[in-house]
Amino acid sequence: MNHSIYSADRSTHLKIVVVALVAGIAVAGFGISARTTSDGSTTQATHVIKAGKPVAVTSSDASVVR
């Protein structure tokens, strides 16, 4: 048994490609089936955040350098 991918024959490369393709399809299928929907609708509700009054932030212990 040769453990090098460079000297592997054509059937070994084909097996690797098939296994990778099946694994990719399985991961994609699991990702699609794992999506959660709250009420079955495809629209998402957005929450609006409104700005309040301006606030001035000051610090009394800051030293002024001139």
Whether the per-residue pLDDT at 6 is higher than 90: the answer is: no
**pTM above the 0.85 mark?**
no
Residue 43 lies in a domain: no
- What integer pLDDT is reported at residue 30 of this predicted model? 92
Pair 2, 8: CB distance under 8 Å: yes
- Percent with pLDDT over 70 in the chain: 70
DSSP state string for 36-52: --SSS-S----------
Q: How many CA atoms are closer than 13 Å to the CA of 33, on its beta-carbon side?
A: 6
Q: Which domain holds residue 16?
A: 1-38
Task: Please report which confidence band the pLDDT of residue 38 belongs to, taking 50, 70 and 90 as the band edges.
Answer: low
Q: Is residue 65 part of a domain?
A: no
- Quick one: pLDDT band at residue 42, thresholds 50, 70, 90? low
Distance CA 5, CA 22 (A): 20
When divided into structural domains, the chain yields a total of 1
Query: How much is the pLDDT for 1?
Result: 61
Torsion of CA 58, 60, 62, 65, to 10 degrees: 90
